[in-house]
Structure 1
Protein backbone atom coordinates (compact mmCIF):
# COMPACT_ATOMS: atom_id res chain seq x y z
CA UNK A 1 0.00 0.00 0.00
CA UNK A 2 1.49 3.33 -1.08
CA UNK A 3 0.85 5.96 1.58
CA UNK A 4 1.51 9.66 1.09
CA UNK A 5 1.96 12.22 3.82
CA UNK A 6 0.75 15.69 2.91
CA UNK A 7 1.03 18.65 2.63
CA UNK A 8 4.35 17.94 0.91
CA UNK A 9 3.60 19.17 -2.61
CA UNK A 10 -0.10 18.85 -1.86
CA UNK A 11 -1.06 21.22 -4.64
CA UNK A 12 0.93 19.20 -7.17
CA UNK A 13 -1.32 16.24 -6.38
CA UNK A 14 -4.02 17.77 -8.54
CA UNK A 15 -2.38 20.60 -10.50
CA UNK A 16 -1.71 20.13 -14.21
CA UNK A 17 -3.66 16.91 -14.13
CA UNK A 18 -4.73 15.52 -17.51
CA UNK A 19 -8.50 15.24 -17.89
CA UNK A 20 -8.46 11.47 -18.41
CA UNK A 21 -6.38 10.69 -15.31
CA UNK A 22 -7.88 9.45 -12.03
CA UNK A 23 -5.57 9.96 -9.05
CA UNK A 24 -6.30 7.85 -5.98
CA UNK A 25 -3.83 7.47 -3.11
CA UNK A 26 -3.68 6.71 0.60
CA UNK A 27 -2.88 9.88 2.54
CA UNK A 28 -1.76 9.93 6.16
CA UNK A 29 -2.53 12.76 8.60
CA UNK A 30 -4.09 15.01 5.98
CA UNK A 31 -3.88 18.70 6.91
CA UNK A 32 -3.96 21.64 4.52
CA UNK A 33 -5.02 25.27 4.34
CA UNK A 34 -8.13 26.39 2.43
CA UNK A 35 -7.65 25.89 -1.30
CA UNK A 36 -9.64 25.16 -4.45
CA UNK A 37 -9.20 23.53 -7.85
CA UNK A 38 -11.13 22.51 -10.96
CA UNK A 39 -11.26 18.77 -10.15
CA UNK A 40 -13.72 16.77 -8.07
CA UNK A 41 -12.20 15.44 -4.86
CA UNK A 42 -13.44 12.43 -2.87
CA UNK A 43 -12.22 11.54 0.60
CA UNK A 44 -12.86 8.17 2.20
CA UNK A 45 -11.76 8.04 5.84
CA UNK A 46 -10.09 4.69 6.52
CA UNK A 47 -9.31 5.36 10.19
CA UNK A 48 -8.82 8.24 12.58
CA UNK A 49 -10.67 11.50 11.97
CA UNK A 50 -10.33 14.64 9.82
CA UNK A 51 -12.02 17.99 10.26
CA UNK A 52 -13.13 19.07 6.79
CA UNK A 53 -14.58 22.40 5.74
CA UNK A 54 -16.17 22.94 2.32
CA UNK A 55 -17.32 26.53 1.91
CA UNK A 56 -19.55 27.05 4.97
CA UNK A 57 -20.01 23.34 5.71
CA UNK A 58 -17.74 21.93 8.40
CA UNK A 59 -17.74 18.41 9.85
CA UNK A 60 -15.44 16.03 11.71
CA UNK A 61 -15.41 12.81 9.68
CA UNK A 62 -14.33 9.47 11.11
CA UNK A 63 -13.80 5.95 9.79
CA UNK A 64 -16.20 4.99 6.99
CA UNK A 65 -17.26 8.57 6.25
CA UNK A 66 -17.00 10.26 2.86
CA UNK A 67 -16.59 13.85 1.69
CA UNK A 68 -17.65 14.90 -1.82
CA UNK A 69 -15.88 18.12 -2.87
CA UNK A 70 -17.13 19.69 -6.13
CA UNK A 71 -14.91 21.83 -8.37
CA UNK A 72 -14.21 25.46 -7.41
CA UNK A 73 -15.18 24.97 -3.77
CA UNK A 74 -12.86 26.36 -1.12
CA UNK A 75 -12.03 23.53 1.27
CA UNK A 76 -9.56 22.68 4.00
CA UNK A 77 -8.45 19.66 6.06
CA UNK A 78 -7.17 19.31 9.60
CA UNK A 79 -6.02 16.16 11.41
CA UNK A 80 -5.81 16.77 15.15
CA UNK A 81 -4.19 13.44 16.13
CA UNK A 82 -3.98 10.91 13.34
CA UNK A 83 -5.84 9.87 10.22
CA UNK A 84 -5.59 7.70 7.15
CA UNK A 85 -7.79 8.40 4.15
CA UNK A 86 -8.06 7.56 0.48
CA UNK A 87 -7.92 10.75 -1.58
CA UNK A 88 -9.33 10.52 -5.10
CA UNK A 89 -9.17 13.40 -7.58
CA UNK A 90 -10.47 13.51 -11.15
CA UNK A 91 -11.70 15.96 -13.76
CA UNK A 92 -15.52 16.08 -13.88
CA UNK A 93 -15.53 15.84 -17.69
CA UNK A 94 -14.37 12.25 -17.25
CA UNK A 95 -17.94 11.40 -16.17
CA UNK A 96 -20.24 13.53 -18.39
CA UNK A 97 -23.32 12.98 -16.20
CA UNK A 98 -21.47 14.33 -13.17
CA UNK A 99 -20.06 17.24 -15.15
CA UNK A 100 -23.55 18.24 -16.28
CA UNK A 101 -25.00 17.91 -12.78
CA UNK A 102 -22.34 20.09 -11.14
CA UNK A 103 -22.64 22.85 -13.73
CA UNK A 104 -26.14 23.62 -12.49
CA UNK A 105 -26.22 22.37 -8.92
CA UNK A 106 -24.13 21.66 -5.81
CA UNK A 107 -24.56 19.36 -2.77
CA UNK A 108 -26.49 21.01 0.05
CA UNK A 109 -24.44 18.93 2.53
CA UNK A 110 -21.33 17.31 1.02
CA UNK A 111 -20.62 14.79 3.81
CA UNK A 112 -21.80 11.19 4.19
CA UNK A 113 -21.48 9.33 7.48
CA UNK A 114 -23.25 6.61 9.47
CA UNK A 115 -24.60 4.91 6.34
CA UNK A 116 -24.03 1.15 6.92
CA UNK A 117 -24.82 0.02 3.38
CA UNK A 118 -22.00 2.21 2.04
CA UNK A 119 -19.31 0.40 4.04
CA UNK A 120 -18.72 -1.80 1.00
CA UNK A 121 -17.40 1.26 -0.84
CA UNK A 122 -14.13 0.86 1.06
CA UNK A 123 -13.39 -2.13 -1.20
CA UNK A 124 -13.94 -0.05 -4.34
CA UNK A 125 -11.84 2.86 -3.06
CA UNK A 126 -9.03 0.41 -2.25
CA UNK A 127 -9.34 -1.23 -5.67
CA UNK A 128 -9.22 2.21 -7.30
CA UNK A 129 -5.87 2.97 -5.65
CA UNK A 130 -4.46 -0.26 -7.10
CA UNK A 131 -5.76 0.15 -10.65
CA UNK A 132 -4.12 2.02 -13.51
CA UNK A 133 -4.94 5.72 -13.35
CA UNK A 134 -6.46 5.83 -16.83
CA UNK A 135 -7.82 2.32 -17.32
CA UNK A 136 -11.40 1.30 -17.99
CA UNK A 137 -11.26 -0.65 -14.75
CA UNK A 138 -10.46 2.46 -12.71
CA UNK A 139 -13.29 4.36 -14.40
CA UNK A 140 -15.60 1.45 -13.57
CA UNK A 141 -14.66 1.55 -9.87
CA UNK A 142 -15.11 5.31 -9.85
CA UNK A 143 -18.54 5.03 -11.49
CA UNK A 144 -19.72 2.56 -8.83
CA UNK A 145 -18.45 4.85 -6.06
CA UNK A 146 -20.11 7.94 -7.54
CA UNK A 147 -23.43 6.20 -8.17
CA UNK A 148 -23.57 5.15 -4.51
CA UNK A 149 -22.50 8.56 -3.20
CA UNK A 150 -24.94 10.55 -5.35
CA UNK A 151 -27.86 8.50 -4.01
CA UNK A 152 -27.02 9.85 -0.53
CA UNK A 153 -26.58 13.52 -1.47
CA UNK A 154 -29.17 16.23 -2.01
CA UNK A 155 -28.43 18.88 -4.62
CA UNK A 156 -29.57 22.49 -4.84
CA UNK A 157 -29.53 24.74 -7.87
CA UNK A 158 -26.76 27.28 -8.07
CA UNK A 159 -26.57 30.28 -10.34
CA UNK A 160 -23.46 31.83 -8.81
CA UNK A 161 -20.31 32.28 -10.88
CA UNK A 162 -17.28 30.31 -9.82
CA UNK A 163 -14.75 32.47 -8.03
CA UNK A 164 -12.05 32.47 -10.69
CA UNK A 165 -10.29 35.42 -9.05
CA UNK A 166 -9.40 33.56 -5.86
CA UNK A 167 -8.38 30.54 -7.96
CA UNK A 168 -6.06 32.75 -10.04
CA UNK A 169 -4.49 34.21 -6.89
CA UNK A 170 -3.98 30.77 -5.30
CA UNK A 171 -2.45 29.40 -8.51
CA UNK A 172 0.01 32.30 -8.58
CA UNK A 173 0.98 31.81 -4.93
CA UNK A 174 1.50 28.06 -5.36
CA UNK A 175 3.77 28.65 -8.34
CA UNK A 176 5.86 31.39 -6.71
CA UNK A 177 5.83 30.93 -2.93
CA UNK A 178 9.51 29.83 -2.96
CA UNK A 179 10.42 33.15 -4.55
CA UNK A 180 10.34 36.71 -3.19
CA UNK A 181 6.58 37.09 -3.28
CA UNK A 182 4.34 39.46 -1.35
CA UNK A 183 0.87 40.98 -1.47
CA UNK A 184 2.28 43.87 -3.52
CA UNK A 185 4.02 41.65 -6.09
CA UNK A 186 0.92 39.46 -6.46
CA UNK A 187 -1.28 42.52 -7.02
CA UNK A 188 1.14 43.97 -9.56
CA UNK A 189 1.58 40.70 -11.47
CA UNK A 190 -2.14 39.90 -11.64
CA UNK A 191 -3.39 43.46 -12.03
CA UNK A 192 -5.71 43.12 -9.03
CA UNK A 193 -6.03 45.59 -6.18
CA UNK A 194 -4.02 44.46 -3.18
CA UNK A 195 -6.86 45.60 -0.95
CA UNK A 196 -9.28 43.34 -2.84
CA UNK A 197 -6.86 40.41 -2.60
CA UNK A 198 -6.48 41.00 1.13
CA UNK A 199 -10.27 41.13 1.51
CA UNK A 200 -10.73 37.86 -0.40
CA UNK A 201 -8.17 36.08 1.77
CA UNK A 202 -9.57 37.32 5.04
CA UNK A 203 -13.18 36.49 4.13
CA UNK A 204 -12.78 33.29 2.08
CA UNK A 205 -9.48 31.76 3.14
CA UNK A 206 -9.52 32.93 6.74
CA UNK A 207 -5.98 34.26 7.04
CA UNK A 208 -3.71 36.93 5.59
CA UNK A 209 -1.68 36.49 2.42
CA UNK A 210 1.70 36.60 4.27
CA UNK A 211 0.53 33.95 6.76
CA UNK A 212 -0.68 31.72 3.93
CA UNK A 213 2.66 32.01 2.12
CA UNK A 214 4.56 31.25 5.33
CA UNK A 215 2.41 28.18 5.92
CA UNK A 216 3.28 26.80 2.48
CA UNK A 217 6.97 27.54 2.99
CA UNK A 218 7.10 25.92 6.41
CA UNK A 219 5.35 22.79 5.19
CA UNK A 220 7.99 22.46 2.48
CA UNK A 221 10.70 23.11 5.07
CA UNK A 222 9.39 20.31 7.31
CA UNK A 223 10.05 17.86 4.49
CA UNK A 224 13.47 19.27 3.60
CA UNK A 225 14.64 19.05 7.21
CA UNK A 226 14.97 15.29 6.72
CA UNK A 227 17.21 15.59 3.68
CA UNK A 228 20.95 16.26 3.54
CA UNK A 229 20.37 20.02 3.23
CA UNK A 230 21.40 22.24 6.12
CA UNK A 231 18.97 24.66 7.76
CA UNK A 232 20.37 27.73 6.01
CA UNK A 233 19.96 26.10 2.59
CA UNK A 234 16.43 25.08 3.49
CA UNK A 235 15.47 28.58 4.62
CA UNK A 236 16.52 30.17 1.34
CA UNK A 237 15.14 27.35 -0.82
CA UNK A 238 11.73 27.82 0.80
CA UNK A 239 11.74 31.52 -0.05
CA UNK A 240 12.77 33.19 3.20
CA UNK A 241 14.98 36.27 2.98
CA UNK A 242 16.98 35.42 6.09
CA UNK A 243 17.60 32.65 8.58
CA UNK A 244 16.04 34.82 11.27
CA UNK A 245 12.73 35.18 9.37
CA UNK A 246 12.72 31.42 8.76
CA UNK A 247 13.15 30.60 12.45
CA UNK A 248 10.47 33.11 13.42
CA UNK A 249 7.95 31.71 10.91
CA UNK A 250 8.79 28.10 11.75
CA UNK A 251 8.28 28.68 15.47
CA UNK A 252 4.98 30.47 14.82
CA UNK A 253 3.57 27.71 12.60
CA UNK A 254 4.99 24.65 14.40
CA UNK A 255 5.34 25.96 17.95
CA UNK A 256 8.87 24.58 18.05
CA UNK A 257 12.26 25.21 16.46
CA UNK A 258 13.50 23.39 13.33
CA UNK A 259 16.13 21.43 15.28
CA UNK A 260 13.63 20.42 17.95
CA UNK A 261 11.18 19.38 15.20
CA UNK A 262 13.81 17.08 13.73
CA UNK A 263 14.55 15.58 17.13
CA UNK A 264 10.87 15.01 17.92
CA UNK A 265 10.19 13.28 14.60
CA UNK A 266 13.25 11.07 14.67
CA UNK A 267 12.38 9.48 17.98
Structure 2
Protein backbone atom coordinates (compact mmCIF):
# COMPACT_ATOMS: atom_id res chain seq x y z
CA UNK A 1 0.00 0.00 0.00
CA UNK A 2 1.10 3.54 -0.71
CA UNK A 3 0.40 5.32 2.57
CA UNK A 4 1.93 8.60 1.38
CA UNK A 5 -0.52 8.86 -1.52
CA UNK A 6 -3.48 8.22 0.74
CA UNK A 7 -2.48 10.58 3.51
CA UNK A 8 -1.75 13.27 0.97
CA UNK A 9 -5.41 13.13 0.01
CA UNK A 10 -6.49 13.11 3.65
CA UNK A 11 -4.27 16.00 4.69
CA UNK A 12 -4.95 18.24 1.72
CA UNK A 13 -8.51 17.37 0.82
CA UNK A 14 -10.29 20.47 -0.46
CA UNK A 15 -7.24 22.73 -0.38
CA UNK A 16 -6.51 22.44 -4.09
CA UNK A 17 -10.08 23.27 -5.03
CA UNK A 18 -9.92 26.32 -2.78
CA UNK A 19 -6.50 27.44 -4.01
CA UNK A 20 -7.94 30.44 -5.84
CA UNK A 21 -9.57 31.67 -2.65
CA UNK A 22 -6.33 31.10 -0.74
CA UNK A 23 -4.40 33.20 -3.22
CA UNK A 24 -6.94 36.00 -3.10
CA UNK A 25 -6.82 35.98 0.70
CA UNK A 26 -3.02 36.25 0.73
CA UNK A 27 -2.72 32.73 2.16
CA UNK A 28 -0.58 31.33 -0.60
CA UNK A 29 2.20 29.58 1.37
CA UNK A 30 1.62 27.49 4.50
CA UNK A 31 3.66 24.73 6.12
CA UNK A 32 2.81 22.62 9.15
CA UNK A 33 5.16 21.28 11.81
CA UNK A 34 5.69 17.51 11.91
CA UNK A 35 4.03 15.95 14.95
CA UNK A 36 5.23 12.85 16.75
CA UNK A 37 4.93 10.63 19.81
CA UNK A 38 6.64 11.00 23.18
CA UNK A 39 9.89 8.99 23.28
CA UNK A 40 9.00 7.11 26.49
CA UNK A 41 5.69 6.03 24.96
CA UNK A 42 7.39 4.80 21.80
CA UNK A 43 9.75 2.74 23.92
CA UNK A 44 7.03 1.27 26.17
CA UNK A 45 4.86 0.27 23.20
CA UNK A 46 7.80 -0.88 21.02
CA UNK A 47 6.85 1.44 18.14
CA UNK A 48 9.75 2.93 16.24
CA UNK A 49 9.62 6.24 14.41
CA UNK A 50 10.69 5.34 10.89
CA UNK A 51 10.06 8.44 8.82
CA UNK A 52 8.96 12.05 8.64
CA UNK A 53 7.73 12.81 5.13
CA UNK A 54 6.46 16.06 3.70
CA UNK A 55 3.32 15.97 1.58
CA UNK A 56 3.41 19.14 -0.49
CA UNK A 57 0.48 20.40 -2.51
CA UNK A 58 1.34 23.08 -5.06
CA UNK A 59 -1.22 24.57 -7.40
CA UNK A 60 -1.06 27.44 -9.87
CA UNK A 61 -4.39 29.19 -10.33
CA UNK A 62 -5.55 32.14 -12.39
CA UNK A 63 -6.94 35.11 -10.53
CA UNK A 64 -8.09 37.44 -13.30
CA UNK A 65 -5.09 38.17 -15.52
CA UNK A 66 -2.68 37.18 -12.73
CA UNK A 67 -1.61 33.62 -11.93
CA UNK A 68 -1.13 32.80 -8.26
CA UNK A 69 0.86 29.88 -6.85
CA UNK A 70 -0.51 28.21 -3.73
CA UNK A 71 1.73 25.89 -1.67
CA UNK A 72 0.62 23.85 1.33
CA UNK A 73 3.06 21.55 3.13
CA UNK A 74 1.67 18.75 5.31
CA UNK A 75 3.76 16.27 7.31
CA UNK A 76 3.30 12.56 7.96
CA UNK A 77 5.28 10.99 10.80
CA UNK A 78 5.30 7.19 10.57
CA UNK A 79 5.85 4.61 13.31
CA UNK A 80 6.05 0.85 12.89
CA UNK A 81 6.18 -2.23 15.09
CA UNK A 82 7.04 -5.84 14.35
CA UNK A 83 4.20 -8.19 15.32
CA UNK A 84 3.35 -11.86 14.87
CA UNK A 85 1.25 -12.15 11.70
CA UNK A 86 0.58 -15.87 11.87
CA UNK A 87 1.48 -17.62 8.59
CA UNK A 88 3.40 -14.50 7.48
CA UNK A 89 5.64 -14.68 10.53
CA UNK A 90 7.14 -11.65 12.28
CA UNK A 91 6.46 -8.56 10.17
CA UNK A 92 6.31 -4.77 10.52
CA UNK A 93 2.55 -5.06 10.45
CA UNK A 94 1.46 -2.48 13.05
CA UNK A 95 1.57 1.16 11.97
CA UNK A 96 0.83 4.44 13.73
CA UNK A 97 0.82 7.75 11.85
CA UNK A 98 0.61 11.39 12.89
CA UNK A 99 -0.58 13.75 10.16
CA UNK A 100 -0.28 17.52 10.50
CA UNK A 101 -1.82 20.01 8.11
CA UNK A 102 -1.81 23.81 8.42
CA UNK A 103 -4.72 25.73 9.84
CA UNK A 104 -5.50 28.15 7.05
CA UNK A 105 -8.03 30.89 7.34
CA UNK A 106 -9.10 34.42 7.97
CA UNK A 107 -11.20 35.69 10.89
CA UNK A 108 -14.42 33.67 11.20
CA UNK A 109 -13.55 31.41 8.26
CA UNK A 110 -11.29 28.39 7.95
CA UNK A 111 -10.26 27.03 4.55
CA UNK A 112 -8.90 23.67 5.72
CA UNK A 113 -11.90 21.27 5.89
CA UNK A 114 -9.96 18.72 7.99
CA UNK A 115 -10.81 20.83 11.04
CA UNK A 116 -14.50 19.88 10.88
CA UNK A 117 -14.24 16.35 9.49
CA UNK A 118 -15.63 13.48 11.53
CA UNK A 119 -13.73 10.21 11.83
CA UNK A 120 -16.22 8.69 9.37
CA UNK A 121 -15.36 11.37 6.80
CA UNK A 122 -11.64 10.96 7.39
CA UNK A 123 -11.78 7.20 7.00
CA UNK A 124 -13.82 7.56 3.80
CA UNK A 125 -10.88 9.47 2.34
CA UNK A 126 -8.60 6.61 3.34
CA UNK A 127 -10.93 4.04 1.77
CA UNK A 128 -11.36 6.05 -1.45
CA UNK A 129 -7.62 6.31 -2.00
CA UNK A 130 -6.26 2.95 -0.85
CA UNK A 131 -6.16 0.45 -3.69
CA UNK A 132 -5.44 -2.34 -1.23
CA UNK A 133 -7.67 -1.54 1.74
CA UNK A 134 -11.39 -2.16 1.47
CA UNK A 135 -14.45 -3.50 3.31
CA UNK A 136 -14.07 -0.78 5.96
CA UNK A 137 -16.82 -1.02 8.57
CA UNK A 138 -17.39 1.15 11.63
CA UNK A 139 -17.19 -0.62 15.00
CA UNK A 140 -17.28 2.01 17.75
CA UNK A 141 -16.63 5.62 18.74
CA UNK A 142 -14.90 6.59 21.96
CA UNK A 143 -13.53 9.69 23.64
CA UNK A 144 -9.82 10.38 23.54
CA UNK A 145 -7.65 13.15 24.99
CA UNK A 146 -4.97 14.31 22.55
CA UNK A 147 -2.79 17.32 23.35
CA UNK A 148 -5.08 18.09 26.30
CA UNK A 149 -8.11 18.30 24.01
CA UNK A 150 -11.11 16.00 24.25
CA UNK A 151 -11.84 14.52 20.85
CA UNK A 152 -13.48 11.51 19.21
CA UNK A 153 -11.64 8.44 17.98
CA UNK A 154 -13.22 5.59 16.06
CA UNK A 155 -12.35 1.97 15.42
CA UNK A 156 -13.10 0.31 12.10
CA UNK A 157 -12.53 -3.15 10.68
CA UNK A 158 -10.99 -3.49 7.23
CA UNK A 159 -9.33 -5.89 4.85
CA UNK A 160 -5.78 -5.02 3.79
CA UNK A 161 -3.12 -6.51 1.56
CA UNK A 162 0.24 -7.49 3.01
CA UNK A 163 2.80 -9.21 0.79
CA UNK A 164 -0.01 -10.35 -1.49
CA UNK A 165 -2.07 -11.82 1.34
CA UNK A 166 -5.40 -10.57 2.70
CA UNK A 167 -5.10 -9.48 6.32
CA UNK A 168 -8.00 -8.48 8.57
CA UNK A 169 -7.03 -5.30 10.37
CA UNK A 170 -8.37 -2.74 12.79
CA UNK A 171 -8.14 0.90 11.75
CA UNK A 172 -8.26 3.69 14.36
CA UNK A 173 -8.75 7.33 13.35
CA UNK A 174 -9.03 10.41 15.55
CA UNK A 175 -10.71 13.68 14.72
CA UNK A 176 -8.37 16.63 14.25
CA UNK A 177 -7.09 18.54 17.27
CA UNK A 178 -5.35 21.90 17.17
CA UNK A 179 -1.73 22.76 17.79
CA UNK A 180 -0.48 26.35 17.72
CA UNK A 181 -0.80 26.65 13.94
CA UNK A 182 -1.82 23.22 12.65
CA UNK A 183 -4.42 20.48 12.71
CA UNK A 184 -3.29 17.04 13.87
CA UNK A 185 -4.88 13.67 13.03
CA UNK A 186 -3.74 10.24 14.22
CA UNK A 187 -4.22 6.92 12.41
CA UNK A 188 -3.37 3.43 13.67
CA UNK A 189 -3.56 0.13 11.79
CA UNK A 190 -2.78 -3.36 13.09
CA UNK A 191 -3.79 -7.01 12.40
CA UNK A 192 -6.87 -8.14 14.26
CA UNK A 193 -4.90 -11.13 15.54
CA UNK A 194 -2.87 -8.84 17.82
CA UNK A 195 -5.77 -6.64 18.93
CA UNK A 196 -5.47 -7.67 22.59
CA UNK A 197 -2.15 -5.86 22.78
CA UNK A 198 -2.18 -3.27 20.03
CA UNK A 199 -5.58 -1.68 20.73
CA UNK A 200 -4.29 -0.41 24.08
CA UNK A 201 -1.01 0.60 22.48
CA UNK A 202 -2.75 2.72 19.83
CA UNK A 203 -4.75 4.50 22.54
CA UNK A 204 -1.55 5.15 24.47
CA UNK A 205 0.19 6.48 21.36
CA UNK A 206 -2.74 8.81 20.65
CA UNK A 207 -2.75 10.11 24.21
CA UNK A 208 0.97 10.85 24.11
CA UNK A 209 1.25 12.66 20.80
CA UNK A 210 3.60 15.66 20.86
CA UNK A 211 3.54 18.78 18.70
CA UNK A 212 7.01 18.21 17.22
CA UNK A 213 8.50 14.93 16.02
CA UNK A 214 11.85 13.74 17.36
CA UNK A 215 14.33 14.78 14.67
CA UNK A 216 16.95 12.38 16.02
CA UNK A 217 14.83 9.37 15.04
CA UNK A 218 14.43 7.70 11.62
CA UNK A 219 13.78 10.11 8.80
CA UNK A 220 12.42 7.86 6.06
CA UNK A 221 13.54 8.31 2.48
CA UNK A 222 15.58 11.42 3.29
CA UNK A 223 18.05 9.28 5.19
CA UNK A 224 18.60 7.07 2.16
CA UNK A 225 20.05 9.96 0.22
CA UNK A 226 22.41 10.95 3.02
CA UNK A 227 23.61 7.38 3.41
CA UNK A 228 24.47 7.18 -0.28
CA UNK A 229 26.59 10.30 -0.17
CA UNK A 230 28.41 9.30 3.03
CA UNK A 231 29.17 5.75 1.98
CA UNK A 232 30.36 5.94 -1.60
CA UNK A 233 32.90 3.21 -0.98
CA UNK A 234 30.07 0.78 -0.24
CA UNK A 235 27.80 1.87 -3.08
CA UNK A 236 28.72 -1.08 -5.29
CA UNK A 237 27.82 -3.67 -2.67
CA UNK A 238 24.35 -4.53 -1.45
CA UNK A 239 22.72 -1.13 -1.96
CA UNK A 240 19.93 -2.58 -4.05
CA UNK A 241 19.02 -5.10 -1.36
CA UNK A 242 19.03 -2.45 1.34
CA UNK A 243 16.80 -0.17 -0.71
CA UNK A 244 14.36 -3.04 -1.30
CA UNK A 245 14.12 -3.58 2.45
CA UNK A 246 13.53 0.12 3.12
CA UNK A 247 10.70 0.22 0.57
CA UNK A 248 8.69 -2.36 2.51
CA UNK A 249 6.49 0.11 4.35
CA UNK A 250 4.35 -2.37 6.24
CA UNK A 251 0.57 -2.56 6.17
CA UNK A 252 -0.47 0.90 5.09
TM-score (norm 1): 0.23
Q: Which has the higher strand share?
A: 2
**Structure 2-normalised TM-score?**
0.24
- Larger relative contact order, structure 1 or 2 (CA cutoff 8 Å, min sep 6): 2
More helix per residue: 1
